[in-house]
């Protein structure tokens, strides 16, 4: 497979405007301290939006608390049989071979570990979903390589089973589905901030009650009416795209990454605000991470430290979640006030020399 392209001057990289915003103050089981975060985006209003959230984080003792509750990468393979009985027999056979499959996984990479196997049968089709630990890599390739090896092994061991696909879309990669949130894929993190009432008034120009109500009416009910799936937020995709690009991630994973839930509550005037992101697919090694700009960004984020396997990537996920909270909080506050959003955009783009809104 060779790319039949004529090299041209335009093969130079696409420079995406980037700013380091913050610092964010952060605490929790995966990252602690203060850090600026890089945001690569064509949408310049994103920077001050995240910056406003960051400022609030520094006004609260523990800042944004991020709790990381799960970490795994998946790949599903598709097998074909003649009927459901054949699929059922094969599934039992596969589960009986867990030790064998674990050993094979370890051989495929020194960082890969098989955590669990689940399956589903539909007529003569058998979908097998492998869940892996993948160290500090996001794990797309590691999971695919391992799954490929497991698949080949199973094809030679199971009678009456034929190859369907190394990916059966039951993984699920870069699609918005329910399975990733329910079974887990990527890092599952919740970012939280408890903002005293006076700070809500002074910095967000609103009240806890109005934000909590907007979250119910817009993020929960509005998204639900639109036919959304396992998602309720204002604009996680914006922050994730910018953070992913600046840190060398496969930003197509914002599709599932942006499925997450904003929860806001009026706690006696204070604002409890949280963003739960069950599917953060990030790594600190792998594709894209050796580019100098990316490497520099990861280093500055303290995500290239000597730590146990996986801990750098978890820190990165925590920073991503905290960044999402900053931008989400800022936009939600703005939308409680008629007119603020457009004023901010128009002002900002003018300040940044962008075209006027047209």
Q: Catalytic residues, which ones?
A: 43, 250, 345
Stretch that binds a copy of itself, among 19-27, 93-101, 307-315 (CB under 8 A): 19-27
HSE value, Cβ hemisphere, 13 Å, CA-based, for 35? 23
Compute the least distance from the CB of residue 69 to a copy of itself, in Å: 5
The nearer residue to a copy of itself, 145 or 197, going by C-beta atoms, is: 145
Q: Does 293 bind a copy of itself (CB under 8 A)?
A: yes
The nearer residue to a copy of itself, 97 or 248, going by C-beta atoms, is: 248
Compute the least distance from the CB of residue 102 to a copy of itself, in Å: 18
Q: How far apart are CA 216 and CA 222, in angstroms?
A: 8
Among 276, 279, 284, 323, binds a copy of itself (CB under 8 A): 276
Q: How far apart are CA 56 and CA 192, in angstroms?
A: 12
Compute the least distance from the CB of residue 61 to a copy of itself, in Å: 14
Q: How far apart are CA 328 and CA 333, in angstroms?
A: 8
Spell out the residues 6+ positions from residue 264 whose beta carbon is closer than 8 angstroms to its own: 208, 211, 212, 214, 215, 271, 272, 273, 274, 332
Structure tokens at 190: 């919740």
Stretch that binds a copy of itself, among 93-101, 283-291, 302-310, 311-319 (CB under 8 A): 283-291
HSE value, Cβ hemisphere, 13 Å, CA-based, for 5? 8
Q: Does 309 bind a copy of itself (CB under 8 A)?
A: no
Environment class of 43 (CB within 10 Å of its CB; exposed 0-12, middle 13-18, buried 19+): middle
Among 34, 83, 107, 305, binds a copy of itself (CB under 8 A): 83
Spell out the residues 6+ positions from residue 104 whose beta carbon is closer than 8 angstroms to its own: 146, 149, 150, 153
Q: Does 295 bind a copy of itself (CB under 8 A)?
A: no
Instruction: Name the β-bridge partners of 159.
Output: none
Do the bridges between strand 125-133 and strand 261-267 make them parallel or antiparallel, or are there none, so unpaired?
Answer: unpaired
Compute the least distance from the CB of residue 128 to a copy of itself, in Å: 11
Task: Count residues binding a copy of itself (CB under 8 A).
Answer: 158
Q: Does 341 bind a copy of itself (CB under 8 A)?
A: yes
Among 60, 196, 222, 295, binds a copy of itself (CB under 8 A): 222
Q: How far apart are CA 260 and CA 235, in angstroms?
A: 10
Compute the least distance from the CB of residue 349 to a copy of itself, in Å: 7
DSSP conformational letter for 340: H
DSSP conformational letter for 189: E
The nearer residue to a copy of itself, 102 or 149, going by C-beta atoms, is: 149
Stretch that binds a copy of itself, among 94-102, 232-240, 308-316 (CB under 8 A): 232-240
Q: How far apart are CA 282 and CA 30, in angstroms?
A: 14
Binding to a copy of itself (CB under 8 A) within 43-62 occurs at 43-44, 47-49, 51-52, 54-55
The nearer residue to a copy of itself, 100 or 349, going by C-beta atoms, is: 349
Q: How far apart are CA 196 and CA 198, in angstroms?
A: 6
Residue 14: C-alpha distances to residues 18, 40, 111, 293, 296 (Å): 12, 11, 32, 13, 18
Structure tokens at 151: 């698949």
Compute the least distance from the CB of residue 35 to a copy of itself, in Å: 12
Among 11, 96, 159, 306, binds a copy of itself (CB under 8 A): 11
Instruction: Name the β-bridge partners of 234.
Output: none
Binding to a copy of itself (CB under 8 A) within 189-218 occurs at 190, 192, 214, 216-218
Q: Does 279 bind a copy of itself (CB under 8 A)?
A: no
Stretch that binds a copy of itself, among 94-102, 261-269, 305-313 (CB under 8 A): 261-269
Binding to a copy of itself (CB under 8 A) within 136-175 occurs at 137, 141-142, 144-145, 148, 151-152, 155, 163-175
């Amino acid at each position: 497979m060779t790319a039949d392209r004529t090299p041209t001057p335009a093969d130079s990289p696409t420079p995406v405007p980037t700013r380091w915003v913050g610092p964010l103050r952060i605490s929790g089981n995966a990252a602690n301290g203060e850090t600026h975060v890089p945001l690569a985006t064509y949408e310049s209003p994103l920077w001050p939006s995240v910056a406003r959230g960051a400022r609030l984080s520094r006004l609260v003792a523990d800042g944004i608390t991020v709790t990381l509750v799960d970490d795994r990468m998946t790949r599903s393979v598709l097998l074909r049989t003649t009927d459901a009985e054949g699929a059922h027999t094969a599934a039992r056979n596969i589960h009986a071979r867990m030790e064998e499959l674990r050993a094979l996984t370890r051989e495929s990479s020194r960082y890969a570990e098989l955590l669990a196997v689940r399956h589903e049968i539909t007529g003569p089709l058998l979908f097998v979903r492998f869940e892996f630990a993948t160290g500090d890599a996001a794990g797309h390739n590691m999971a695919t390589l391992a799954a490929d090896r497991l698949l080949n092994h199973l094809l030679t061991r199971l009678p009456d089973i034929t190859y369907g696909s190394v990916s059966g879309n039951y993984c699920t990669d870069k699609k918005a589905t329910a399975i990733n949130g329910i079974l887990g894929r990527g890092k599952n993190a919740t970012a939280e901030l408890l903002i005293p009432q006076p700070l809500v008034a002074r910095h967000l120009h609103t009240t806890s009650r109005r934000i909590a109500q907007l979250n119910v009416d817009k993020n929960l009910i509005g998204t639900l009416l639109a036919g959304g799936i396992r998602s309720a937020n204002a604009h996680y995709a914006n922050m994730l795209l910018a953070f992913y690009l600046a840190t060398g991630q496969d930003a197509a994973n914002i599709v599932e990454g942006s499925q997450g839930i904003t929860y806001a509550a009026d706690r006696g005037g204070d604002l409890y605000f949280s963003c739960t992101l069950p599917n953060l697919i990030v790594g600190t090694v792998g594709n894209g991470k050796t580019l100098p700009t990316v490497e520099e960004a990861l280093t500055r984020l303290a995500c290239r430290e000597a730590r146990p396997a996986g801990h750098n990537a978890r820190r990165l996920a925590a920073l991503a979640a905290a960044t999402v909270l900053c931008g989400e909080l800022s936009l939600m506050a703005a939308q409680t006030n008629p007119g603020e959003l457009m004023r901010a955009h128009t002002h900002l783009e003018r300040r940044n020399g962008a075209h006027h809104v047209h």
